[in-house]
Amino acid sequence: MASDSPGKQIRIPILLWRRVILDLRRRGGGRGESGAFLLGVHRGSACKVAAFICYDDLDPGAYRGGAIAFHAAGNAALWTFCRNTGLEILADVHTHPGGHVGQSSIDQRNPMIPVAGHTAMIVPNYAYAPWWSLESIGVYEYLGTFRWRAHPAAPGRRVALTSW
């Protein structure tokens, strides 16, 4: 089993995070889940987010059923986008209704990137959440074989941080 300390730290520029939150809020319309991939470059254990792309930009049918269903065509478009831009997938982020940011059984059984070490983030209230902080966001690390580790927003142990 992996150690309890985070292996990487994802830094998200605060103004970019604001754009992510506002875009997810708009796309979900207060009625449905929405999501995005956070993209950037790995530099050792530090990762800096440089861009994001929403699920429905890659897969127009991603939100049709009320919950997120990301299809093979969306995955192909994502990898093409990354290849063309030179960016890597650093994390995925999606919204949940209400204030609960724990993973649902669907989240646990369907990682967006099923590779050990991938980070998944959950934003409460269909993204009607503070954009200036990650305190209310659920952060999870995929360990493989449908196992996850939660990373609480404890000082000194944060996996995802906002930065200027």
* Domain housing 80: 12-163
Query: Does 1 have pLDDT greater than 50?
Result: no
Q: What is the pLDDT of residue 163?
A: 86
pLDDT higher for 56 or 65? Answer: 56
Is the residue at 1 inside a domain?
no
- Encoded amino acid at 14, one letter: I
- The alpha carbons of the chain give a radius of gyration, in whole angstroms, of 15
Per-residue pLDDT tens digits for 76-86: 999 999 999 99
Q: What is the CATH number of the domain that holds 51?
A: 3.40.140.10
Comparing 62-66, 89-93, 121-125, the range with the smallest average pLDDT is 62-66
Is the residue at 156 inside a domain?
yes
**Neighbour-count burial for 74-110, b at 16+ CB within 10 Å, e otherwise:** beebbeebeeeeebebbbbbbbbeeeebebeeebeee
Is the residue at 6 inside a domain?
no
Q: Which residue has the tokens 């939150």?
A: 21
pTM: 0.92
